[in-house]
Amino acid sequence: MTFNLNNIIRKNVSTLKPYSSARDEYVATGANMVFLDANENPNNNGVNRYPDPHQRSLKSAIADIKGVSQKQILLGNGSDEVLDLLFRAFCEPGKDHVITLPPTYGMYGVLANINAVENRQLPLTPEFQPNLEAIEKAQSSSSKLLFICSPNNPTGNLFNQAKIEWILANFNGLVVIDEAYIDFADIPSWATRLHEFPNLVVIQTLSKAYGMAAVRLGLCFASEAIVNVLKKIKPPYNVNELTQQRALTGILDQQTVQEQIGELVRQRTALANQLKGISFIRKIYPSEANFILIKVDDADLRYRQLMENGIVVRNRSTQTLCENTLRLTVGTTQENKKLVNVLTNIMKDG
Ligand SMILES: *Cc1c(COP(=O)(O)O)cnc(C)c1O
């Protein structure tokens, strides 16, 4: 199948003339410039100037670390904004649809609703893998986006590489691979394969492995052509100055990031082993992320008991294929110890 980006862009977006901000028009020369172009307050307090709408310093650092070109990067106010931009660029409300593979991240469906776009839900197989036949049957010329979350939230597993390759080769819209948890997994990012797939969009975030959920930075890696479409419709100053600065400092401190990832992965293994001793836990799903999905005898009961002991987890029981499951985030050593102690006491109390 030959992919043609022009066939999937919304008409109003392809004809749109984007807003040109004051800060778009100059290129910093390093000279002593006087800025009287943007109606800012001239008194320097560190944040009186508009931020760089193109986030050049931040993108340059990200490009080095992720091995992509700066032109293949779009940044947003969390992944949520990047996902929303994809809907607004490619999905005609009331006409087009997206495909999601539940159980998966709830935001795809919420954004579909917000944008008045149909969400075709094609459940994963019992092994939590994409159902290729169902995808083939469900797609049409109005299929614009297909969301793959790998490692998947809430199940924690990676999708089979050959299945993802099949989807990339056979889906006629954009394949959006959400890699929020990729740094906890043992495989390289799909961003390393952008040159092979013109319909590939990879989403990452600073909210998990990088420990900066409050900073709100979402990363999107895609072909320059796709990035240019998204750039046209993004708010000019969507990534604020404080975010740009704090994200840059955090990203450059790779030693801390990598140490914390290593420690969380060790804690994940330790926690999974300790959970084996809890008799009401029926199943511990293997995880490539920083959380563990477990199946218990009675999720509502166990959720409430944990809550009464001061521990908040996520009850995922209403999700497809997730009856009586709880999702446990891997915490600090002490937090995990407390979790296991509380679970052990609940078990002993019957
Ligand atoms: C946590 C998470 C995100 C992160 O969203 P942000 O808006 O960047 O904080 C994205 N996708 C999935 C699947 C997640 O679990």
Residue 29 is predicted with a pLDDT of 61
Atom of ligand 1 nearest to the CA of 217: 8
pLDDT digits 0-9 by tens, 226-238: 999 999 999 999 9
Nearest in space to 336 (alpha carbons), one of 273, 249, 253: 273
CA 314 to centroid of ligand 1, rounded, Å: 15
d(CA 171, CA 154): 24
Whether 153 is in the pocket of ligand 1, judged by its Cβ within 6 Å, is: yes
Q: Per-residue pLDDT for 30 more than 80?
A: no
Direct distance between the N- and C-terminal alpha carbons of the chain, in angstroms, rounded to an integer: 58
What is the distance between the alpha carbons of residues 211 and 228, in angstroms, rounded to a whole number?
Answer: 29
Which residue type is seen at 260?
Q
Which tens digits make up the pLDDT trace of 131-190?
Answer: 999 999 999 999 999 999 999 999 999 999 999 999 999 999 999 999 999 999 999 999
Tell me the longest C-alpha to C-alpha distance in the chain. 73
In this predicted structure, the answer to whether residue 23 has a pLDDT above a threshold of 90 is no
pLDDT of residue 19: 86
pLDDT at 33: 83
| Residue to mutate (ligand 1; options 74, 107, 176; most atoms within 8 A of CB) | 107
Average pLDDT on 301-314 reads 98
User: CB of 79 closer than 6 A to ligand 1?
Assistant: yes
Distance from residue 149's CA to the centre of ligand 1 (Å): 10
pLDDT of 311 over the 70 cut: yes
In Å, what is the CA distance from 26 to each residue of 36, 47, 244?
12, 19, 19
**What is the predicted pLDDT for the residue at 24?**
74
Whether pLDDT at 47 is above 80: yes
How much is the CA Rg of the chain, to the nearest whole Å? 22
What does the pLDDT read at residue 27? 61
149 lines ligand 1 (CB under 6 A): yes
The ranges of the chain annotated as CATH 3.40.640.10 are: 5-252
Q: From CA 346, how far away is CA 350, in angstroms rounded?
A: 6
Confirm or reject: Cβ of 165 under 6 Å from ligand 1. no
Q: Tokens 């760089």 — which residue?
A: 52
Q: How many CB atoms lie within 10 A of CB 286?
A: 12
Average pLDDT over residues 42-56: 95
Residue 296 predicted with pLDDT over 90: yes
% of the chain residues with pLDDT over 70: 98
Residue-wise pLDDT tens digits, 120-145: 999 999 999 999 999 999 999 999 99
pLDDT at 174: 98
> Does the pTM exceed 0.75?
yes
pLDDT of residue 196: 97
Q: What is the pLDDT of residue 28?
A: 60
CATH of range 255-348; options 3.90.226.10, 3.90.1150.10, 3.90.320.10, 3.40.630.30? 3.90.1150.10
State residue 20's pLDDT score.
Answer: 83
CATH architecture of 5-252: 3-Layer(aba) Sandwich (3.40)
Question: Region 329-340: what's the mean pLDDT?
Answer: 98
Q: Where exactly does CATH 3.90.1150.10 map onto the chain?
A: 255-348
The pLDDT assigned to 151 comes to: 98
What's the pLDDT score for residue 315?
A: 98
Q: Which two tokens stand for residue 306?
A: 């944990």
Q: What is residue 2's predicted lDDT score, i.e. its pLDDT?
A: 78
Residue position matching structure tokens 């080095």: 64
Q: Taking 80 as the threshold, does the pLDDT of residue 32 lie above it?
A: no
